[in-house]
């Protein structure tokens, strides 16, 4: 059995919080693990995540010092997913994701498998009236090792962290969620989305506009980034007319919105 979907390793990454494995988490993660028996599965926790970053990013002391110094759990979790995918590649999955019966080997259309280095899906794309801020879902990401798009996101987060430390005259250990503002913008899906736009622009030597990528009913390959329609990773957040739904691929995952990070601490403590 191949250990790669061409460029993407068959490895699923999870990160447990201090409360460990609940029954819901076990059921959700098992739905993906059991559906993909040929995939290596790794569950990290706070301690093993810290050790991983220390070991594999020793050549980047700025990354190690920033990551280890941070005390806001959701920001560390956001950064960790990008670091794991950059270093080894594979599939990042949040703990509150269940799989919907389609093996991961079948997520990427055959015509695109050899050319795909990153897979993301729209969280908000169809069925939203008026102007909306579109973003890729960060709860499910597939990547090859060494993806420049993941490194762009990492560098952008390091830059904004440095800016808030300077602005507030604090060390990274004393940076708070209140200083960071909206996590979605700071380190989450919007940060990731704009980092991918920026990196794709460098790769293709042109400005990437949202209109190049949105309102899609089928997977779309731009550079080496495969963009999945909202139905794939965020079916509950997108609505389609019957004539549109006829052209959609199947739902791949369900996000159960457990939202353990939505508190004043930015996560489980």
- Kindly report the CATH number assigned to the domain that includes residue 96: 3.90.550
Domain for residue 265, yes or no? Answer: no
Domain for residue 268, yes or no? Answer: no
**Which residues face 220 on adjacent strands?**
227
Dmax of the chain from CA atoms?
Answer: 55
Domain of 226, in residue numbers? 4-255
Distance of CA 85 to the CA centre of its chain: 9
Alpha-carbon gap, residue 269 to 259, rounded angstroms: 14
The angle, 0 to 180 degrees and rounded to 10, between the axes of the packed helices 73-87 and 46-56 is 50
What letters, b where the CB count within 10 A reaches 16 and e where it falls short, cover 38-77? Answer: ebebeebebeebbebbeebbeeeeebbebbeebbbbbbbb
**Hey, how many other C-beta atoms are within 10 angstroms of the C-beta on 173?**
9
Per-residue pLDDT for 263 more than 70?
A: no
Domain for residue 263, yes or no? Answer: no
Alpha-carbon gap, residue 99 to 36, rounded angstroms: 10
Number of domains the chain contains: 1
Domain for residue 192, yes or no? Answer: yes
Per-residue pLDDT for 30 more than 80?
A: yes
Task: Output the pLDDT for position 62.
Answer: 98
Asked if 210 and 190 touch (Cβ cutoff 8 Å), the reply is no
pLDDT band at 260 (very low <50, low <70, confident <90, very high): low
What letters, b where the CB count within 10 A reaches 16 and e where it falls short, cover 114-136? Answer: eebbbbbbbbbbbeeeeeeebbb
pLDDT band at 3 (very low <50, low <70, confident <90, very high): confident
Domain for residue 125, yes or no? Answer: yes
Nearest to 86 by CA among 159, 25, 172, 144: 144
> 13: part of which helix (H) or strand (E)?
strand 11-15
Burial of residue 188 (number of CB atoms within 10 Å: 0-12, 13-18, 19+): buried
- DSSP structure class, residue 122: B
The model's pLDDT over 41-56, given as tens digits with 9 standing for 90+, comes to: 999 999 999 999 999 9
Task: Output the pLDDT for position 212.
Answer: 87
Domain for residue 267, yes or no? Answer: no
Alpha-carbon gap, residue 53 to 49, rounded angstroms: 6
Per-residue pLDDT for 21 more than 50?
A: yes
Alpha-carbon gap, residue 220 to 108, rounded angstroms: 10
Mean of pLDDT over the chain:
94
pLDDT band at 205 (very low <50, low <70, confident <90, very high): very high
* Residue labelled with tokens 């960790």: 80
Domain for residue 260, yes or no? Answer: no
Per-residue pLDDT for 261 more than 60?
A: no
In the chain, pLDDT over 90 holds for what percent of residues? Answer: 89
Domain for residue 133, yes or no? Answer: yes
* Residue 156 to residues 12, 152, 183, 203, 222, Cα–Cα distance (Å): 25, 6, 14, 17, 21
Per-residue pLDDT for 269 more than 50?
A: no
Between 240 and 128, whose confidence is greater?
A: 240
């Amino acid at each position: 059995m191949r250990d790669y979907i061409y460029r993407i390793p068959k490895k699923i990454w999870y990160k447990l919080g201090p409360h460990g494995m609940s029954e819901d988490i076990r059921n959700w993660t098992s739905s993906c693990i059991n559906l993909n028996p040929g995939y290596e599965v790794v569950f990290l926790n706070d301690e093993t995540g810290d050790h991983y970053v220390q070991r594999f990013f020793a050549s980047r002391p700025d990354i190690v010092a920033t990551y280890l110094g941070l005390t806001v759990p959701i920001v560390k979790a956001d950064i960790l997913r990008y670091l794991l995918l950059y270093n080894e590649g594979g599939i990042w999955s949040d703990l509150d994701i269940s799989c919907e019966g389609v093996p991961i080997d079948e997520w990427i259309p055959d015509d695109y498998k050899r050319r795909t280095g990153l897979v993301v899906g729209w969280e908000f794309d169809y069925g939203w009236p008026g102007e909306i801020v579109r973003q890729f879902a960060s709860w499910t990401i597939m990547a090859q090792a060494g993806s420049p798009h993941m490194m762009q996101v990492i560098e952008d987060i390091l830059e904004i962290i440095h800016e808030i430390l300077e602005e507030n005259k604090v060390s990274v250990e004393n940076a708070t969620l209140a200083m960071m503002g909206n996590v979605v913008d700071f380190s989450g899906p919007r940060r990731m989305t704009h980092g991918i736009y920026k990196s794709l622009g460098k790769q293709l030597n042109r400005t990437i506009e949202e209109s190049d990528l949105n309102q899609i009913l089928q997977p779309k390959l731009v550079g080496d980034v495969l963009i999945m329609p909202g139905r794939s990773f965020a079916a509950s957040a997108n609505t389609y007319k019957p004539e549109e739904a006829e052209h959609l691929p199947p739902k791949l995952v369900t996000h159960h919105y457990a939202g353990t990070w939505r508190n004043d601490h930015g996560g489980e403590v």
